[in-house]
Amino acid sequence: MTDKNRVVIFDTTLRDGEQSPGATMSHAEKLEIAGLLDEMGVDIIEAGFPIASEGDFEAVKAISEQTKNAVICGLARANFKDIDRCWEAVKHAAKPRIHTFIGTSELHRAIPNLTMDEMAEKIHETVSHARNLCDNVQWSPMDATRTEWDYLCRVVEIAIKAGATTINIPDTVGYTAPNESADLIRRLIANVPGADEVVFATHCHNDLGMATANSLAAVEGGARQIECTINGLGERAGNTALEEVVMAMKVRHDIIPFTTGIDSTKLMNISRRVAAVSGFAVQFNKAIVGKNAFAHESGIHQDGMLKNAETFEIMRPEDVGLSETNLVMGKHSGRAALRSKLSELGFELGDNQLKDVFVRFKALADQKKEIYDEDLIALMQVGSDVEDRIKLAALQVSCGMDLEKSAEMTLVIDGESQTTRQTGDGPVDAAFNAVKTLFAHSARLQLYQVSAVTEGTDAQATVSVRLEEDGKIATGQSADVDTVVASVRAYIDALNRLLVRREKSGGDLAEVSYKDAG
């Protein structure tokens, strides 16, 4: 018997999330995130857009092969070539799904320059083609919330007749509002012939900050699949945040009486991993997974919390996988203790990986007396899975009031050691100028972000650096108790990643346009 209140969680972190400029993940990172999503109980993982690049295809294929429980979905535009390529990648999954889409609003129809009738015909052909390959087909009328009502009903009916098993209603530009979102799904289910034989999905963007509310309203209206991403990662203001809709249904089950298969205690760990690999830090006051979401600093709050945690807490930190920050280890902790602590934090390491992390842990313990969970998490989030052509060998900076800011640096580039001394507006600027002098490149710094891992002036700084060169984007990360060292390492990490991307030929998402639907 199917549970009519069970909501399917469709995670698109690896597709819509990764599409966000700068959020590009490596092959290994995508596999790791897919593994965590599967373990957490996500029902469907949209693993990528196989036609977009060789790398995307390989990632979707590998995720299809490794995934144990979730349905694996790939995205395809409304043409046979895209759909065939998508099927080639997802057919390796135990439970494959093809997701094909076309923009149906007047503005989107104008892009491939199709009349309403021509588009309707194309939808019929492409959904039928997908259904001949795979018995699980999702179809999306992109920009559904701005599509003329009669035409939306017409194309949804065509897609159902052609064999779509899920109809997704995207609010592509984040334009709708909760009452409209609920009403749209309710009216589609009531008016489109065959609607009761398919699952309706909601896919919201957060341009007006209403994605979570709109998704939950759509469920109220009859949708039974929510499309979302970890941390709300996604283009512009992002997509619906998975952790928000899941916890809203859990905490307010009394008025939002729907269930999911998500193990919410895994939310914090996956949020941190997605933040680390995408280079998109989670804002401190982000609902559910933000650093301050469970922090109670004001005197009144603390007093209330000590008397009864429910005074200011509507959910327990443990429910989302947040354990009490504790002093974990120090200089004398051994390898076995490190392995066991990391495993508690969600990191399972092989022997070689542990060896590498242990060396870095010891180096950190020499610099910092008290090592907290957050320090270990930061330690795990740095370290690249790409071959480093450029390595930092030495760095000395000079700075202070009314002093010239300079950096003397030695880099090992392709095995050859080179040194320079450069000046700048500050120590970081001087150090970045030194990198640019030793390894000339035209990449533009798009983002430089620093945050403290823990409290105290001996805290490690985590640094994210995003570089862009000819439309290719790479994000580097590092953490160190020395902010300038962390900054230079993050810059070099981004540069190494960019070099790998430069070498790899083949199209990127940036080069594959959604408008090329025909």
Residues that bind ligand KIV (CB under 6 A): 16, 101, 140, 142, 170, 172, 203, 205
Nearer of residues 215 and 462 to ligand KIV, judged by Cβ: 215
Of 10-18, 87-95, 309-317, 368-376, the window that binds Zn ion (rule: CB under 5 A) is 10-18
Under the criterion CB under 5 A, does residue 38 sit at the interface with Zn ion? no
Q: How many CB atoms lie within 10 A of CB 491?
A: 25
Nearer of residues 234 and 476 to Zn ion, judged by Cβ: 234
**Sheet with 461-469, edge to edge strand ranges:** 444-452, 461-469, 472-480
Exposure pattern of 299-329 as b/e (b: 16+ CB <10 Å)? eeeeebeeeeeeeeeeeeeebbbbeeeeebb
Q: Let me know: does 226 contact 254? Beta carbons within 8 Å.
A: no
Residue 368 site contact among Zn ion, ligand KIV, none (CB < 5 to 8 Å, cut-off depends on kind)? none
As a whole number of angstroms, the longest Cα–Cα distance in the chain is 76
Please provide residue 45's backbone torsions phi and psi, each rounded to the nearest 5 degrees: -110, 120
Shortest distance, position 77 Cβ to ligand KIV, whole Å:
9
Of 12-20, 92-100, 138-146, 280-288, the window that binds Zn ion (rule: CB under 5 A) is 12-20
Question: Which of 11, 16, 56, 480 is in the footprint of Zn ion by CB under 5 A?
Answer: 16
Helices 373-381 and 267-278: crossing angle in degrees, nearest 10, is 40
Residue 140 site contact among Zn ion, ligand KIV, none (CB < 5 to 8 Å, cut-off depends on kind)? ligand KIV
Q: Let me know: does 175 contact 146? Beta carbons within 8 Å.
A: yes
Sign of CA dihedral 223, 227, 230, 234: negative
| Residue numbers 319-338 binding Zn ion by CB under 5 A | none
Nearer of residues 239 and 496 to Zn ion, judged by Cβ: 239
Under the criterion CB under 5 A, does residue 143 sit at the interface with Zn ion? no
Nearer of residues 16 and 38 to ligand KIV, judged by Cβ: 16
How many Å apart are CA 72 and CA 34, to the nearest integer?
A: 10
Q: Let me know: does 284 contact 297? Beta carbons within 8 Å.
A: no
Under the criterion CB under 5 A, does residue 374 sit at the interface with Zn ion? no
Nearer of residues 101 and 372 to ligand KIV, judged by Cβ: 101
Residue 101 site contact among Zn ion, ligand KIV, none (CB < 5 to 8 Å, cut-off depends on kind)? ligand KIV
Shortest distance, position 245 Cβ to ligand KIV, whole Å:
16
Nearer of residues 174 and 221 to Zn ion, judged by Cβ: 174
Tokens standing for residue 66: 């490794």
Nearer of residues 43 and 375 to Zn ion, judged by Cβ: 43
The residues that touch Zn ion, with contacts defined as CB under 5 A, are 16
